[in-house]
Structures are given as C-alpha cells and as structure tokens.
C-alpha cells in the first residue's frame, strides 16, 4: 500500500490555519483587546432576501410528494444553468447550456479539474496567487512553475518566456486585486493556442469589476473557446461562501489531441459528483435573477467602499499599494523593511488589525500584505485610521 507521496511536497500548513493560530495566541494573552479582522476573505453580509425566499420555497417543496426532488442531473438543473447562461449573455458571451457544469464551489472544481490532465504537465501558477492552484497541482503530481507578479508588471504577469501546459489566471486577482485588460488576456490566449496549453480562468471576483473596459470573462477574448476553461462562483458575488454554489464552463471547441475536454469533465462529474442540492440551485437562480443581482450589487458596493477606505488610508504614506478599485482586496508593501509575518505581528500588536501575510500566497508575496473589504463598515473605518498611524510610525 502506498500513499500519494505528492502530499509530502506541499508546504506545511494552510495559510489561514497559521493566521488563526497566531490570532488565538494573541487573544489568549490579551483577552480585553478587540481585534478587527481584515484577513480571511470571507463575506460578512447576510444573504439577499430573494435568495432566502427561493431557498425556503424550495425546502418546502421538498417536503411535499409532488415537489420532492431526489438525485438531480449531475451537470445541474436546466433552470440554474440557464440562469448562469443568461448572466454571460448580458455581457455578450454566448454559451451553450451543455457547456455549463454546476458545483458546490470554485475550489472543488479547481481541484477536480486536475483529474483531466496527465501527471507530467507543467502548471504555470501566478505568484503571488490563490494557494489552491499550486497545492492542487502538486497533489496531482504536476511540476509547478511560478509566474511572477511584481510591482513592475502591475502584478499581472504575461506569457513571455513561459513554458507550461496548464495556465492558471485569476482576474480580479486574489491577493493583489489586479485585473487583466483585454490585451493582457489576449496575450495569454494567443500563447495557449500556439502552445496547445489550457487556461484555467478563475472568475470568482468578476462581479467586483467596476471599470467597463475590463473583461469579466476569458470568453470575451477571441479564440478563448479553443483554449480556456472558466471557473465561477457565487461565494463573493452573492454571499454564498456558506451556501456553496459555483460552476465550470468548458466550451465544446476545447480539445486536446482530438479529445473534447467537456466530454471528459462530463464523465468525471457523472462519476464523482451527484450535483448541487435542489434548494441551493433555486437560491442561485434567484441570486442571478434581475432582483437578486440588484441586491448582490449593493453588497459588492459595500465591500468596495470598505476597500476604498483602506486604500485611501494608505495613500500618501509612501507605501506601495494596489487593488481595491475592482476588487475587495487591497495589496500593500510592508513598511519599514518588515517581512510579511513581521508586519502581521506588528499590525496585530500596534493597530489590533488581523491581515494576511503576503508570503502565504507564494514566494513572490514576501514583503507584502493583504487587507480585505469584507469587514463591517464602522469597524473598517476605525481600523483604517489605526492602519495609517501604524504604517507611518513603522517608517520613522
């Protein structure tokens, strides 16, 4: 009997467990100190009313002989897939219903998609980036090559000089909040088409994009249907982090060596997944309806306002920062030459703020720090003032 030895190649802990441990240790030592948590990227506002109503209605239906639903279609009910399809259509992206696969979230799909690829493909992973890309690739045995995001490239690395087969792109990016332009994504699509690589495009934060010139989907780029898979989620868009709903889009044209990836994914999903619960699919349908989208936009505006507050607090301090315009994340350089974990401890002690050390998002995140707009407004405003004072003091 042999275990999957790739697990031994993973870095030791999951970032947020490390943060949690250090915060718990601090709280034990200082029980009277109230902390503002601007670290973990979880939403805080409750579900919108139309979503709650749809979920309750569906739950009641399930308790009646005529409304009971057993196993649903593995790919998702037509009504929910059509709701996703309609959302894309609004931006001029035409998808076929059979290209949309529903799931319990983007994270599951990102992990599951590894089943489609042979073990020796090189994964190009943004650094800094969402740690799940590197970790799921390592678990599946793929060699990982980091693609460096830097201040010089605006944390939006391009394909020049890269050789890889599976390309992860995340826009708006976690943790940097950077968003690819059309030209930036076109360069990656051209690269993938030329090389026969597959792009895994993570659109989990697309609803935060405010600038109309920026693409929300890789499928807004010519040629992407032949080289890209898109992974979406209602977690941040509609507050579904605890409700769980995501989707993967695999266009019919996408094939590798004559095999359609969509067919493989259908086979994989029908084998390893029994779909998303009926009440959650009804809730997702409501979130994607006109009324639901209007309510969700309000929550997104609230989080963006918090992010602007944090960003504004850093302006003029002399410290580099980005994000927060089209993203709930603000990404900053640690002041006073501190490394990420030093600044984490410094901010905890001196400003009572919990943030996320950039080093947790890959080697390229060292020396940087992530703050999020997902907190409560009054607490975020007060924390922003403490943040500014602490950053200024650190540079003296």
Residue 46 makes CB contacts below 8 A (sequence gap 6+) with 239
Nearer to ligand PLP, 313 or 354 (CB): 354
Select 165 or 206, whichever has its Cβ closest to ligand PLP: 206
Asked whether 357 and 344 are in contact (CB, 8 A), the reply is yes
Closer CB to ligand PLP, residue 235 or residue 285? Answer: 235
Question: How near is the Cβ of 130 to ligand PLP at its closest, in Å?
Answer: 4
End-to-end CA distance of the chain: 59
- Coil vs helix vs strand at 207: helix
Shortest distance, position 388 Cβ to ligand PLP, whole Å:
26
The nearer residue to ligand PLP, 107 or 262, going by C-beta atoms, is: 107
Q: Is 332:371 a contact under the CB 8 Å cutoff?
A: yes
Rounded to the nearest whole angstrom, what is the least distance from the CB of residue 336 to ligand PLP in the complex?
28
Taking CB atoms, the residue at the shortest distance from ligand PLP is 105
State how far the Cα of 392 lies from the Cα of 396, in Å rounded to an integer: 7
Neighbours of 135 (CB within 10 A): 20
C-alpha angle 231/237/240, rounded to 5°? Answer: 85
Residue with Cβ nearer ligand PLP (75 or 317): 75
168 vs 346 by CB, closer to ligand PLP: 168
Between CA 33 and CA 333, with CA 308 as vertex, the angle to 5 degrees is 70
Q: Phi/psi class of residue 337: alpha, beta or left (left: φ > 0; alpha: ψ in -120 to 50)? A: left
Q: How far is the CB of 206 from ligand PLP (least distance, A)?
A: 11
Quick one: 198 or 313, whose CB is closer to ligand PLP?
A: 198
Alpha-carbon gap, residue 344 to 374, rounded angstroms: 18
Cα–Cα distance for residue pair 169/167, rounded to 1 Å:
6
Residues 6+ apart with CB under 8 A from 353: 35, 36, 38, 347, 371, 383, 386, 387, 390
Chain residues binding ligand PLP by CB under 6 A are 41, 105-107, 130, 170, 174, 202, 204, 233, 235, 241, 246
CB of 182: closest distance to ligand PLP in angstroms?
A: 20
For residue 175, whether the previous peptide bond is cis, meaning omega lies within 30 degrees of 0, is yes
CB of 253 to ligand PLP, least distance (A): 25
Shortest Å distance, C-beta 232 to ligand PLP:
8
For residue 181, the tally of other CB atoms under 10 A from its CB is 15
**Cis peptide bond prior to 291, omega within 30° of 0:** no
> Residue 110 CB, nearest distance to ligand PLP (Å)?
7
In the block, tokens 């749809």 appear at 54
Q: With respect to ligand PLP, which residue has the nearer C-beta, 207 or 235?
A: 235
């Amino acid at each position: 009997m042999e275990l999957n030895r790739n697990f031994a190649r993973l870095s030791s802990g999951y970032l947020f467990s490390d943060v949690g441990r250090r915060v718990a240790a601090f709280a034990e030592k200082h029980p009277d100190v109230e902390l503002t948590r601007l670290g973990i990227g979880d939403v805080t506002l409750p579900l919108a009313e139309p979503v709650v109503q749809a979920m309750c209605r569906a739950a009641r239906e399930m308790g009646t002989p005529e409304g009971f639903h057993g196993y649903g279609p593995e790919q998702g009910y037509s009504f929910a897939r059509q709701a996703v399809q309609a959302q894309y259509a609004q931006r001029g992206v035409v998808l076929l219903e059979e290209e949309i696969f529903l799931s319990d979230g983007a994270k599951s799909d990102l992990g599951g998609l590894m089943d489609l690829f042979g073990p020796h493909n090189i994964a190009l992973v943004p650094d800094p980036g969402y740690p799940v890309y590197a970790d799921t690739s390592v678990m599946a045995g793929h060699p990982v090559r980091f693609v460096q995001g830097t201040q010089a490239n605006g944390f939006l690395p391009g394909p020049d000089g890269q050789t890889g087969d599976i390309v992860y792109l995340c826009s708006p990016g976690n943790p940097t909040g950077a968003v690819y332009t059309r030209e930036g994504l076109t360069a990656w699509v051209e690269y993938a088409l030329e090389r026969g690589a597959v792009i895994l495009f993570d659109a989990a934060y697309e609803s935060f994009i405010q600038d109309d010139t920026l693409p929300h989907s890789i499928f807004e780029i010519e040629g992407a249907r032949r080289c890209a898979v898109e992974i979406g989620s209602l977690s941040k868009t509609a507050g579904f982090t605890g409700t769980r709903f995501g989707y993967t889009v695999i266009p019919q044209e996408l094939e590798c060596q004559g095999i359609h990836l969509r067919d493989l994914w259908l086979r994989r999903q029908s084998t390893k997944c029994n779909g998303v619960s009926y009440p959650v699919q009804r809730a997702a349908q409501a979130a994607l309806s006109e009324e639901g989208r209007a309510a969700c936009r309000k929550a997104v505006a609230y989080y963006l306002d918090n992010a602007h507050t944090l960003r504004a607090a850093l302006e003029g301090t002399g410290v580099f920062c980005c994000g927060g315009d089209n993203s709930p994340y603000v990404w900053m350089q640690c002041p006073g030459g501190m490394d990420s974990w030093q600044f984490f401890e410094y901010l905890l002690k001196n400003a009572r703020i919990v943030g996320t050390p950039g080093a947790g998002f890959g080697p390229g995140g060292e020396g940087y720090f992530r703050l999020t707009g997902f907190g409560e407004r009054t607490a975020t405003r007060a924390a922003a003032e403490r943040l500014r004072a602490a950053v200024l003091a650190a540079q003296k």
